[in-house]
A and B are shown apart, each in its own frame.
Chain A
Amino acid sequence: MPDPIPADPPPPPAADTAVAPAAAGRQPARRANRLFLVAGLFVAFVLAAFVSGFASSSPDGLEKVAEDKGFLEQGRDHAFSDWPIADYAVSGIGNERLAGGLAGVIGVTITFAVGGALVFAVTRLRRRRHPART
């Protein structure tokens, strides 16, 4: 969840001594956190968009065991198997790598948004329960 404050606010003027020292000291830390976040998301997008094209398409451990032991056919089609992003491929795109890479970008975006929103809600929960600790 990106900070609501616009990126890189100008540093507070030196004369502004009314600012609590702790809050002033947190400014560079916040910028470093944002840099880390952007770099981390960049890596996640590169992995999902490009590196995923080189992933092995062999059955995974569970599928392989299910196949060997003869219970693979017990598996039913997924309820969402007709969805346009089913099986990590955006439907309607002929190029397999492009379809998969795009699905990866969509997935990373949704996961970041949902994960961030949920954790944001969890921290609010704390604030409501322990208002003194904000």
Chain B
Amino acid sequence: MHIPDGFIDAPTSAAFGVVAAAGVGYAVRRASAEAEDQVVPLAGLCAAFVFAGQMLNFPVALGTSGHLIGGTLAAVLVGPWLGAIAIAVVLLVQALFADGGLTALGLNITNMAVIGALGGYLLFRLALRLLPARLPSVPVAAGIAAFVTVPLAAAGFVAEFALGGTVDLPLGGVLGSMVGVHALIGVGEAVITAATVSLVIATRPDLVYGARHLVRQAPLEIRPSAVRAPSTAGQPADG
């Protein structure tokens, strides 16, 4: 999924550099307005985990492999804004490993951080709306969204290729092949995303951004010391 230098011409790459910068800049603005101090290490952890996950190519079809994008995963765990920033950081660090072209960084950030994380979070919220409002719905919705984002990011590449591909090819064929193989990779993305989200929900549901509205009530119960407050003196003890 990492576009190397040379697939897309310079003007198109530069234009998507602007798209990516605008997307990440907007994410920084939104994240700075809502991020709490305790999410700092979590967002770092999320980026580190996605970096590791992206190293693990799994076979999908004859002689083809795929790996996690992690956009939906990051967005569900730390929120869409920090999630998009985390994926952008992963893509930036991967450049040190000569993975994904430098001139293609804007294209890759657009496909994986903007479509992957921001688009993934939107799809996650849509899927969640169709499912019962319970905690176990969260990993299911995350998996569905993760599945869709992979062929969607592949379609993003085809759009970029249509605008500035360095070879003239019938676009229908490229679109069919890209979406087809990435739908298979999407199954892996869905499994990894759903498994990771359900693991975090099983251990620390309060840390999952996408599950916040379902666990809000819990922390209110575990404050036995609060009973001492004078304002509750007249209330009957609950045993």
Contacts and interface: CB of A to CB of B under 8 A. Distances in A.
Interface of A: 1-2, 21, 25, 30, 32-33, 36-37, 40-41, 43-45, 47-48, 51-52, 55-62, 64-66, 68-71, 74-81, 83, 85-88, 103-104, 107-120, 122-123, 125-126, 129-130
Contacts of B47: 111-112, 114-115
Q: Interface size for chain B: under 10, 10 to 19, 20 to 34, or 35 or more residues?
A: 35 or more
- Chain B residues touching A, majority SS: helix
Nearest to A80: B98
Contact of A71 (B1, B167, B225): B167
B177 A87 contact: no
The winner among A1, A37, A115 for most chain B CB atoms within 10 A is A115
Contact of A25 (B86, B173, B207, B225): B225
A68 B180 CA distance: 13
Contact of A51 (B1, B37, B56, B96): B56
B44 A116 contact: yes
22 contacts: A44-B51, A45-B52, A47-B52, A47-B53, A48-B51, A52-B52, A55-B57, A58-B57, A58-B64, A61-B66, A61-B182, A61-B185, A62-B157, A62-B178, A64-B64, A75-B6, A80-B98, A107-B52, A113-B44, A119-B31, A120-B40, A126-B35
B129 to A, nearest CB: 28
Contacts of A30: 38
Contacts of A40: 45, 48-49
A59 B63 contact: yes
Given A33-B41, A80-B95, A126-B33, A25 B223 contact: yes
B207 A36 contact: yes
B166 A86 contact: no
A61 B181 contact: yes
A107 B64 contact: no
